[in-house]
């Protein structure tokens, strides 16, 4: 596994509000489009708070829904699955409430990244190799 490239996505109103990195999983199936880690800065009462999450992306029909259904998120982590356009998307992030959880400390960010890497490595080879 290697980081293929890091790139920046910017918000025109706040150029430093978002950062993302793509992590290349070795020997991945062509339908597995990648694992992405992203940090968004949330402004609360004039202070910026980093919020980190990872996203697995694959072509529709790849089987990320099966990985989502089998994934047992720790009590303080949330997994979400959706299909949009022609891709499947699986997001791992810190659990939030209406009033809290919208910042991610370095230890929690590391745990989210490790969970995303484990999940990506288990599915990136495709459904036939994930079993």
**Residue-level pLDDT at 8:** 44
The stretch 54-66 carries a mean pLDDT of 94
Residue 17 DSSP label = S
What is the rounded average pLDDT for all residues in the chain?
82
Domain with 110, as residue range(s), is 2-130
Q: What is the pLDDT of residues 30-49, one digit of tens each?
A: 999 999 999 888 887 888 88
The stretch 102-123 carries a mean pLDDT of 91
CATH label of the domain that carries residue 36: 3.30.1460
**DSSP H helix total and E strand total for the chain:** 3, 6
Nearest Cα residue to 62 out of 86, 35, 41, 78: 86
Looking at the structure of the chain, the number of domains it has is 1
Please indicate whether residue 52 or residue 44 has the higher confidence score (pLDDT): 52
Q: What is the pLDDT of residues 65-77, one digit of tens each?
A: 999 999 998 888 9
The stretch 10-19 carries a mean pLDDT of 53
What three-state secondary structure class fits 109?
helix
CA-based torsion, 94, 117, 72, 111: positive or negative: negative
**Residue-level pLDDT at 56:** 95
**Residue-level pLDDT at 98:** 80
Please indicate whether residue 115 or residue 99 has the higher confidence score (pLDDT): 115
Kindly list the distances between the CA atom of residue 10 and the CA atoms of 20, 24, 62, in Å, as whole numbers in the listed order: 10, 22, 30
What count of other Cβ atoms lies within 10 Å of the Cβ of residue 37? 21
């Amino acid at each position: 596994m290697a980081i293929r490239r890091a790139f920046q996505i910017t918000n025109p109103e706040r150029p430093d509000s978002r950062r993302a990195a793509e992590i290349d999983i070795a020997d991945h199936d062509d339908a597995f489009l990648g694992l992405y880690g992203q940090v968004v800065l949330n402004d609360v009462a004039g202070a910026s708070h980093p919020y980190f999450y990872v996203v697995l992306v694959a072509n529709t029909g790849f089987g990320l829904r099966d990985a989502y259904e089998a994934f047992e998120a720790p009590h303080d982590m949330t997994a979400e699955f959706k299909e949009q356009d022609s891709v499947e998307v699986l997001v791992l992030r810190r659990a939030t409430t209406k009033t809290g959880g919208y910042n991610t400390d370095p230890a929690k960010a590391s745990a989210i990244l490790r969970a995303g890497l484990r999940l990506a490595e288990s599915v990136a080879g495709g459904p036939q190799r994930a079993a």
